[in-house]
Structure formats: C-alpha cells, structure tokens
Structure 1
Amino acid sequence: MDHPRTDAYLRRIGADRPSAPTADALRALHLAHLLAVPFENLSVHLGEEIVLDADALVAKLVDRGRGGFCYELNGAFSALLVALGFEVTPLQARVVGKDGRLGIPYDHMALRVRTAEGTTWLADVGFGTHTHFPLAFDERGEQADPGGVFRIEDANTDGDGDGDADATSVEGAAEGDLLVLLDGEPQYLLEQRPRTLRDFEAGAWYHRTSPASHFTQSLVCSRLTEDGRITLSGHTLTTTVGDDRTVTELPTDTSVLEAYDQHFGIVLDHVPPEPNPTEG
C-alpha cells in the first residue's frame, strides 16, 4: 500500500501512524483493529465473492466499511503492517473443535510478526473472541491478556522420541507445530511454515460454500468494545459488559439494518438471510 492508502486504513481503525514498527506500536494497532473492524461472515450469506487479494481486502475494510473473517481480517492487517515496516509471515492453522477434533487444513490464518526490536509476535485479529494484544511467539509460559490467559505450547506428537505421545500432543500435529490455548482449552494448531495469502483460497472457498462449515450454518457480526463485546446474529443483539450480558431481540428488518449501521458502521440495503438450521 502507498502512503495515502495506509493513512486511510489507519483512519479506519482510529490509529495514529507509528514512528517505527515497534512492539508497542503493534500492540496499539492490534487493539485498534479489534475495536473498529468487526468479525463478520455477512458476505457468505449475501452471496458476495471473497477475494483473497490484499488490495481487494483493504478496499472491503477501508472503502466499504466492512469486516470479514480470518483470511480477510488478517490478510488486510498484514498489508497494513507491511506498509508500516513490520516483517509479517502468514501462518496456517487448524481450529480445535469442541469435540477436540481438528478442522480442515488452512482452516484459519494467523500472523507471525517481527518488530524493529527483533521480537516476534503472534498477531491475530481474525479469530472472533481471542486475544486483545499479540502473544509473544517464543514464550511457552502463560501470557495474561484482557481476553484470558493464553499459552503457546509445542504440539509434537512425540517430542522425546520414545514412541509415546507427550502430555501436550495433539492428534494430527507435526514436528514443529504449536498449540494455542485459552484458559487451558486448545484453540488452534499452528503450523510454522511460511504461507502466502493465496494458499488459503481453498479454505476460504470451503467456509463460504460447504454446508459443514460453521460460517454457512451461522450468521454473525461481532466487535470488541472498550468494556466488552457487541454481537449481532440474525435479529438477536447481544451486548456484554464485564460479566453482564444483555440480549435484545430486534423485531423488524429495519431495526436490524439500523443496528448494523449504529454498532458496526455497516450499511446494507437488505438484511442477510439467516441460515436454515435444518439444512446440511
């Protein structure tokens, strides 16, 4: 991105241009992105194409005032960070389901970011409810974050060579893979091999089209707030402030469109159709 385009992106997230690509600057940009740009899968239900091209992703967020899901959000954020002088490497991950099973390859995209100080961080603005700030990539102890207590662990199937799985092993993990945990619960299995945005096209196609994808089965638009989170799913608006949770049913399509605009800055001409839970 050129200088004016980068400035437009920074205005979109309400962030100042950092003087250098430092760890503090990365933390500020990461939080600003989460506060301004929603995690949403509206394109899936509006029949919109999802193009994994940096310029197209930035245009969606900056020009159209939209959000997206992991490939889109982290893809655009990567372009911003590179324009600001950070060294960024996309990484592929497989999400750990509630049953403990791994999702498809290229199920998720996260970012390894190297700063001017030579420190390396795991940045992820595309996983919904997750970290507010980047995680220290090489730290294997607990890392406290407003979103919870996180940990990055080695996930080798047999790290000591004795033929027995280690305590932190994950079925399907390969040598060098890492497991990201939140409050002790596995979130995703992260591969350290560098990837490019185009590598995730099959994963994006799957999540946009497959009846088995949770993105085709649900409709969500969610954004971090200064004191909690706000989420719109269909006609249900959920606001969380600390431990308090308020659920409001929006009675009309007009009220839903107003909520998209008021809470997320998203202007739509019609309400996205809600998925039929009996399908698939």
Structure 2
Amino acid sequence: MNPTQSDAYLRRLGAERPARATTDALRDLHLRHLRAVPFENLSIHLDEPVVLDEQTLLDKVVARRRGGFCYELNGAFGLLLAALGYEVQLLAGRVHGDEGLGIPCDHLALRVRTADGGDLIADVGFGAHSQGPLDFGERGEQADPGGTFRVVDAGGDLDVLRNGKPRYRLETRPRTLTDFRAGAWWHSTSPESHFTQSLVCSRITADGGRITLSGRTLTTTDAEGLKEVRELGTDEEVLAVYRDGFGIGLSEVPTVRGGQFG
C-alpha cells in the first residue's frame, strides 16, 4: 500500500495518520473501522466476485466505500496497519457453531504487534464482537463495550470467548491472504454457508449502538441494548437505508440468491 492509498483509507475512517504504531493508536483505528466500514455480504447476492488480492480489497473498501466480510475487512485492515508500521500476521480461525467447528480457514483475524510492546488480536470482521483489539497473551477476562472476552488455550490453538461462549478458534501460525481463498469461495457459493442464505449489513454507530439491515428488516440498537425492529416496505426505503445508514449506493435491492453448487 502506497502513502496515497493509506491516506485515502484513513480518510474513510475519519482518522489522522498516527505518529507511531502504538497500542492506543490501534485501538482508535479499530473502533473507527467498525463505525465506518460495515460488515456486509452484499457481493454474494449482487453477482460480484469476492476476490482476495490486495488491490481488489483496497478498491472495494477505500475507492468504492463498501464493506465486506471477515476476509475482506481484516485483509484490508491488515494492509493499512502494516503500512502504518505495525507488525501484522494473518491468523486462520474456525467458527464455533451448533454443529461444532466450521471449515478450515473459516475466519481471518489479525495478530498485531505494536511499537510500544503490545501483542493483540485485531478483528474488524466478525460482526457483533469486541469493539477494541484483545490482548493476545492475556488469559483472564477482558472487558469491552461489546462484552466480556477471554482468550483460552485450546491444544495449541486459541479459543476466543465472548460472555463465556466460544466464538472461534484461532491457529497461532501466520498465514498468507491466498490461504483464505478456498474459504471465501465456500462461504460465497455453498448452500451450507449462512452467508449465501441471508443478507446482512451492519456497523457500530457513533453512540455505541448498532444498525443492522437484514434483507428488509432494519434493527437499531442503542448503547444500552434497547432494540427497535421494523420492516421496510418499498425498495426506495431499503436503498435509502443502505445509502444513509451505511454509505453504500446501490442501483438495485439485493435479494438472497442461495448457493451456487449443491
């Protein structure tokens, strides 16, 4: 990533270029990312390919001002952090579900080492999760506006827990972006993937709440957790929420298309 691209990325986040790659600067960038760049799977339902290469990720998140899911969001964020002087490793995870662990390379998270000695897990691509990075080496409870988190040893891997419930299991060896292409393809095409079966667009709001559009269902949650849910009637209403709530300009309303193979 060249300085022009990183400056444009920082403008998308509403952030100044940090003087040093510190832990505090990472925490600020992490929260700004969650507020500015939505977690969304619209490409799957708009016949847009999910491509995991550096330029395509930057084009989507920065130039086109879109969001994405874990591979895209954490992939792009990792590029920005590396350009700002952080030491970044891509880590592969498997999401805990009702039927056990998901597929290999089910999730992408970041291990980030900072100039002031921090060693953290950054994750701006898991939907409702921690608002700040988690301490990689801490095994006690870590308080966060998104809940109470713990990082637990799991036979050489690490389980990340939220409010006592395992969210995903991380490998500790570093990966490359290409390692996640099979997982991104599976999540984009398989009828067994929840991403092919539903639409989601979600981000944290400036007051600490959340706005989520799932198909035509708009859910707003305030900082105290009070939810308001309403159904949108017209295509114009849906497109207005994408535009005004998420900064995403669409010419058509996405519709669930399901998996491409069975």
Following superposition, the deviation at residue 58 of structure 1 comes to 1.1
Following superposition, the deviation at residue 56 of structure 1 comes to 0.9
Aligned residue type for 1:221:
C
Distance in 2 (CA, whole Å) between partners of 1:2 and 1:191 is 30
After superposing on structure 2, the runs of 4+ consecutive aligned residues of structure 1 that deviate more than 6 Å are none
Aligned residue type for 2:55:
D
Q: Which residue of 2 aligns with 1:114?
A: 113
Distance in 2 (CA, whole Å) between partners of 1:11 and 1:128 is 22
Aligned residue type for 1:234:
G
Deviations 1:96-143 (A, max 9, x none): 0034x0000000000000000122100000000001000000001000
Following superposition, the deviation at residue 276 of structure 1 comes to 6.4
Deviations 1:31-79 (A, max 9, x none): 0000000000000000101110111101101111100000000000000
Distance in 2 (CA, whole Å) between partners of 1:145 and 1:244 is 18
Q: Which residue of 2 aligns with 1:135?
A: 134
Aligned residue type for 1:118:
G
Q: Which residue of 2 aligns with 1:170?
A: none
Q: Which residue of 2 aligns with 1:160?
A: none
2:210 to 212, 215, 229: 229
Q: Where do 5+ consecutive residues of structure 1 fail to align? A: 157-175
- Residue 185 of structure 1 pairs with residue 165 of structure 2: yes
Q: Which residue of 1 aligns with 2:88?
A: 88
Q: Which residue of 2 aligns with 1:272?
A: 254
Q: Which residue of 2 aligns with 1:172?
A: none
Q: Where do 5+ consecutive residues of structure 2 fail to align? A: none
Distance in 1 (CA, whole Å) between partners of 2:93 and 2:124 is 14
Aligned residues of 2:196 and 2:256 also touching (Cα < 8 A): no
- Residue 220 of structure 1 pairs with residue 200 of structure 2: yes
Aligned residue type for 1:66:
R
Work out which of the two has the higher radius of gyration on C-alpha atoms and give 1 or 2.
1
Q: Which residue of 2 aligns with 1:165?
A: none
**Same amino acid, percent of matched pairs:** 63
- TM-score, normalising length: structure 1: 0.90
Aligned residue type for 1:257:
L
Aligned residues of 1:97 and 1:103 also touching (Cα < 8 A): yes
Count residues in correspondence: 259
Q: Secondary structure at the match of 1:267?
A: coil
Q: Which residue of 1 aligns with 2:221?
A: 240
1:208 to 183, 188, 196: 188
Following superposition, the deviation at residue 227 of structure 1 comes to 2.6
Q: Which residue of 2 aligns with 1:18?
A: 18
